[in-house]
Amino acid sequence: MFKQSQVLGHIGPGNIDEQIEHARAHLGEANPAKGSRWCDLGSGGGLPGLVVGYDRPDLRLVLLDRSTARTSFLEQAISDLGLEESIDVLTGDAAVIAHHEEHRGTYDGVFSRSFGSPAITAECATGLLRVGGRLVVSEPPDPLVDRWEQSVLYSMGFGELEFSVTSPRFVSISLVTPTRHELPRSWKKLTKTPMF
């Protein structure tokens, strides 16, 4: 399934088994509570979302992507795995979905792997997370610069950044106060003028 996803261009190049193990490490870092609701932001070819859903069918998981080709692939993969009861697929723009009543402030956590820059990822996630919910992002192995601006994250409603000390690397951050109603801004605005 993941090899097919890679052939279709939904997953980048590299060893599939290593990418699956990375997804499992993402799940381990997040350590979601039983029955909690999580969103895989920009799910693409299903990493980490499909692995998380397969390993933790107790979670209520939404795989979100703007590409109908990718979400069609994900729907078929979920059907093949028999996970229709615990995983939903949503096609749309994350910056728009985060303002829909059924999604705004309703997630216990958000997974992100290769969705966008830290600023874009944080801004989209802030509209999806409930207060106390957590964003868990896969980080490059050796980032050359400090990619996250703590002061701006505070202004979005987030608390302190937490970095994993093991490999692969992850950053996690909890929403500690309700975000401003205008966040996230439109995709055009947040990509043209990121907050950091």
Return the CATH fold of 2-192. Answer: Rossmann fold (3.40.50)
Q: Which residues of the chain have pLDDT under 50?
A: none
Report the pLDDT value the prediction gives residue 173, as an integer from 0 to 100.
98
Report the pLDDT value the prediction gives residue 146, as an integer from 0 to 100.
86
Cis amide leading into 48 (omega within 30): yes
Number of H helices and E strands in the chain, helices first, is 8, 7
Do the Cβ atoms of 53 and 25 come closer than 8 Å?
Answer: no
Report the pLDDT value the prediction gives residue 8, as an integer from 0 to 100.
63
